Structure 1
């Protein structure tokens, strides 16, 4: 999906909720559309304020809350840090969080997915939703 496509989707979500698309909100949506990472609200604010100094942190928080309520973004509360955000609707993936840098690495593993299904089945369950978060640090080279 291109950045412009994502931005239009965010704007549509807010318009559908009856929210006006102000210049500060448009800037925030542009930041969200162009990013490939999992920024927290403060990082979104920093990036937005660099483009439009009139943007307030409260506008960022309100915008993120509206987008989350509409299902346009996912909020992740990774251990030891502030909530971070990513676009909703992509393919399923899990996260590896670097405990030293805070970097979030997305990954997919058919083996992990199969093992989870197998375990649930053995315990008499069907998985309806799940989230896998791994926390680690880079290995030091020998």
Structure 2
């Protein structure tokens, strides 16, 4: 059986703010829509499922995010995920210039959780809290690989 990763889905409280953040980082919007109906209820497992969605793609064409903002049922606010919690909690991106990426993130009010670290002279990397509390990892390779 062949398998490939299709996308990573992230529920957000403000889809426009999340789209602005990720497009400023360099992703492109490949589609936006509002979804609802019996097929959506069945696929997602929620009665009355109604959501705004946006599909964003990385410039290399290999990574796709699906952002969704629930209209119905009401979205459930949770505490921001911590890096050591079990389950999915971050999305990671390679960037050419981590300082530039952090400047872009800062314009959206998003800053590193602690700072920028250097891993064995291979990567500069950081975790930051993005829109809707999403943990975003940014990594800049320090040598060609």
TM-score, normalised to structure 1, is 0.25
Q: Greater RCO between the two (CA within 8 Å, min separation 6)?
A: 2
Of Structure 1 and Structure 2, the greater helix share is in 1
Work out which of the two has the higher radius of gyration on C-alpha atoms and give 1 or 2. 1
